[in-house]
Structure 1
């Protein structure tokens, strides 16, 4: 694995004078101005819009194709007291988009119901789900799904149910035959930003409804933005453009006046500061756990409730802990299988077993990072999840696509993909052989990790951390800066966690926390030179989060 700075140091950069000028203007560390510049924020006006996001900079929702049509139909349903049914998805984005739209329609005095499918039912609106709708439903609205639900649309027409599809996934085939289709990823769409989350699209529908009805909506829309923030960050949407405005405003709400469930989670988990990492690594996994190993409808109901008890909230926290335990146990079984069958010597690691289909994506990611090889995990019922290695350009979905004759269905993108295969050992064995040959067509390079600049731990002052947090939210296309340094004066260290797999280093009155990294540290001696990549810790602002380490004698 290679470590490399993303640019020449600030101190010798030809733009140093400009960085310093902007640092005085915005009262920010000039090295962080350099980081903004590297991420495309090169002009003062761009930096102002970045640092001071405004709801006024959001695009008109009516720029989305079919929005006028959808809003007219929803308003008609509200006035005529029709039964409106919302159909969501089982991940955090689907959970929050369902909650968001349900709250808005109830606030507008609508007669509304919702349902999210269990993971075993599969993704998206199905013909069977439409058959099971209450008989009095006349308007069905999908959130975070529906773009490819062609069979379901036929059944809806047969039943006399009109469908509005709101989604954000790629439109891979013909548009669904529905009353209105709202998706910013239409090839010919007129909306200027294609990368909204499902909850982001639901927010735009809500915004359009209130604009058309002419109501004052500050408090209600504030909650909607909070929910859209949870969905956007958890679904790994690019943290640029309109997503940045939504999440900047939403994080303030989550920090200062969160909805009841988030407030209880903060209290029970002792979270004092909410940022993008808190959403991505704490709140998101808790909601996702409901959909992975239980019922996502539980999460929606809790998000809607005003009077929650500690016991109710502890149930979803427990689900996530159970999910972690299942993942750890399955990870050990997978590692044993890989070692026993020497699968780590393959180009692409393909491991199958009695794995719960709700955690195979997490397993594939953990195995890929452990062996630094693309990985596919197949569950007992033939559901497969695949991951590339972070820092490489190997396209796992391209490799899987070339194996399409061996699969029932597949989809995904460069870094992650999913498929289904006949759960037969011979079929899986054939697939494993074929994908090894196909993988050779792509060059599998050592992962490259880039860091922002070299920064001594002693220079991570409160002022620097405050400047760093002013750049929140971080995410895809705008990651939290990673810094490099050498540590030669560690006073002592500890391992912690149920399996002693986490690491805590003590250096200059600072704690440096590393998760799942203790094994990498086992060879360290006082005489060793320790090089680390690190950033700030989301849970404890004054602590340091270790991202990677290497030991040199």
Structure 2
């Protein structure tokens, strides 16, 4: 596939700053360029960034209301009042709950934790849940509450003291809680605004316990990575310190989950948390109950933790299957939507805990903003999620049709909505019109961003070690992705039962080893622009590139092979598919006659691409996709046999056949 290759935004590329950082820090100018590009432009800022430590954790009492919050909590404990920590069902909410639950238990508090059910309660507080908590002295929210004006008012009517701790954007009207701890509040004095919910909970733990709160920093780190908040400033320090604890003296639940989910990993890094641990913790709230995740993170019984970890792994496997089902069904349903600039699909049986993840996959596959919705317990009402692509603000697009929604919220890259079924078709039509009015076609081409272009001769263990000093990687401090332009791909070999491939990336007579996952060796191009991340192979201690993108013009052979695979596996072709692949009887006859001449004259071809090029010469308007269709149909009805040895040999059989004997012809006609 051909990508539009773009360098990531460079906050600074000042040559004098790059030279100064390189000289003062003893690093290469390539690494200094990376730091400047990410906005780290002074020697002091770079030293802090490259050496995160406990001194970079802010004083929790810089929060405007923190002293009053500590006093209220301590008073409630002293009078033996009941405290309820009210959380959320994702990894951030359950981690935040686990932190404060354990801290309050340590302080001898009478404390319980309430975690809402995604299907029953939805996100945040609900009046129904508040009423069930009657008798609670202090309601303490984590990772939620900042938008719950009516629910907090009801809690106060029931005699509860209320402390709202949250990190989400603040609405114009705030709940009238006794105190609010949210770094994003307009009048908040805290100097860092990007903490996650568990990060805020950790600051309260620090205010209550002082240095002893560091016992819970691994939970704060887990949530900070999982919630995809920027890994800059204080968050970077939390994650760096938390990962050290995970690898030396972890929370017992994290240890149990890691032992089961990634037993062969020598080190748990931010990517392991993001792609291995966090999805398992999130699976509980997505398709079961978040209580499982909370208990894993707050219990200490070894045998119970093993069972909980096993349960989370099983739930994640179930989640993956459900997600794959939704993705496959959605891709099959896309059909004519390929021609539009937004995809909106819905089915009653789609799991609303899964549709957001599935929407991301569909969006990636078609380079289109995607909205997927599933049915709810309320008849005729759908709830779902939207995921966008680079350059399209999905929140603004959806907000333009706000009159259709029962509930709606989000940001530029993602959104959630609840809508009546009667409004869905009109919404889809209006969103397409909005996209046509606001976005040019170029926005919908596949784009790949990279940090810097390198030569293969630049790549070595020392450079990789320097890049690794930028760890932990995550949101706003992504893994370093390098581009090698016009590379020759040599010695391509299958690995892992031909699910993956390894090769050499050669440019200017210098080469580096490469590996790509999820791509068969036959699909690896021989020449391409290559983007990937660098690491040192633990087996031979040599540098290698883990490739995530090959950008290249597909050869005729690749076009033919790709079309052939799609035609054979497509269960229900759309009208667009039929237009791309289907050949009428007259065209099939032309292909047959030309191939008969090839067969009679015993002409052979170097490969399928040469065969396609030959046929395109003699039949106007014939594409590789239509040739793939024609050869498959002729093969199915017994008129064509393509033999492969060192070359492609065509064998044509005489006789009359009915095209309807071909299942492929019937499927596409």
Residue 226 in 1 paired to residue 229 in 2?
Answer: no
5 Å matches for 1:475-494?
Answer: 475-485=474-484, 486-494=486-494
Shift of the alpha carbon at 1:302?
Answer: 1.0
The residue aligned with 1:415 is: 413
The residue aligned with 1:547 is: 548
The residue aligned with 2:152 is: 153
Residue 513 in 1 paired to residue 511 in 2?
Answer: no
Distance 1:264 1:545, change over 3 A: farther
The residue aligned with 1:289 is: 283
The residue aligned with 2:189 is: 190
**Which structure has the larger Rg?**
2
Distance 1:6 1:406, change over 3 A: closer
Shift of the alpha carbon at 1:441?
Answer: 3.3
The residue aligned with 1:241 is: 233
Contact 1:273 1:539 in 2 (8 A): no
Distance 1:301 1:478, change over 3 A: same
The counterpart of 1:358, out of the listed 350, 353, 357, is: 353
Contact 1:513 1:543 in 2 (8 A): no
Cα distance in 1 for residues equivalent to 2:267 and 2:281: 19
Residue 441 in 1 paired to residue 443 in 2?
Answer: no
Residue 278 in 1 paired to residue 272 in 2?
Answer: yes
Contact 1:22 1:30 in 2 (8 A): no
Cα distance in 1 for residues equivalent to 2:524 and 2:236: 41
Contact 1:145 1:166 in 2 (8 A): yes
Greater Cα shift, 485-494 or 201-210 = 485-494
Contact 1:6 1:451 in 2 (8 A): yes
List per-residue Cα deviations over 1:204-253 (Å, max 9, x = no partner).
11111225xxxxx34xx223211111111111111111111111111111
The residue aligned with 2:22 is: 20
5 Å matches for 1:86-165?
Answer: 86-120=85-119, 121-133=121-133, 135-165=134-164
The residue aligned with 1:79 is: 78
Residue 404 in 1 paired to residue 365 in 2?
Answer: no
The counterpart of 1:380, out of the listed 354, 375, 381, is: 375
Distance 1:496 1:414, change over 3 A: farther
Contact 2:451 2:482 in 1 (8 A): yes
5 Å matches for 1:309-348?
Answer: 309=303, 310-339=306-335, 342-348=336-342
Distance 1:510 1:320, change over 3 A: farther
Cα distance in 1 for residues equivalent to 2:536 and 2:87: 30
Greater Cα shift, 528-537 or 101-110 = 528-537
The counterpart of 1:258, out of the listed 238, 250, 264, is: 250
Contact 1:289 1:323 in 2 (8 A): yes
Cα distance in 1 for residues equivalent to 2:91 and 2:291: 11
Shift of the alpha carbon at 1:427?
Answer: 1.8
Cα distance in 1 for residues equivalent to 2:128 and 2:229: 30
Determine helix, strand or coil for the equivalent of 1:174. coil
Shift of the alpha carbon at 1:63?
Answer: 2.1
Shift of the alpha carbon at 1:496?
Answer: 5.3
Contact 1:148 1:176 in 2 (8 A): yes
Shift of the alpha carbon at 1:202?
Answer: 0.5
Contact 1:278 1:538 in 2 (8 A): no
Unaligned runs of 5+ in 2: 377-381, 505-510, 556-669
Cα distance in 2 for residues equivalent to 1:305 and 1:544: 41
Distance 1:171 1:158, change over 3 A: same
The residue aligned with 1:52 is: 51
Determine helix, strand or coil for the equivalent of 1:189. coil
Distance 1:104 1:536, change over 3 A: farther
Unaligned runs of 5+ in 1: 212-216
The counterpart of 1:393, out of the listed 386, 391, 395, is: 391
Residue 5 in 1 paired to residue 7 in 2?
Answer: yes
Distance 1:544 1:316, change over 3 A: farther
Cα distance in 2 for residues equivalent to 1:246 and 1:175: 28
Q: CA RMSD in A?
A: 2.6
The residue aligned with 1:455 is: 454
The residue aligned with 2:594 is: none
5 Å matches for 1:527-542?
Answer: 528-536=526-534
TM-score, structure 2 length as denominator?
0.74
Contact 2:340 2:432 in 1 (8 A): yes
The counterpart of 1:428, out of the listed 419, 424, 428, is: 424
Contact 1:84 1:141 in 2 (8 A): yes
Shift of the alpha carbon at 1:544?
Answer: 4.0
Contact 1:41 1:47 in 2 (8 A): yes
The residue aligned with 1:214 is: none
Cα distance in 2 for residues equivalent to 1:61 and 1:460: 43
Determine helix, strand or coil for the equivalent of 1:90. coil
Cα distance in 1 for residues equivalent to 2:310 and 2:455: 40
TM-score, structure 1 length as denominator?
0.89
Cα distance in 2 for residues equivalent to 1:186 and 1:539: 46
Count the aligned residue pairs.
527
Distance 1:23 1:54, change over 3 A: closer
Distance 1:466 1:538, change over 3 A: closer
Contact 1:128 1:152 in 2 (8 A): no
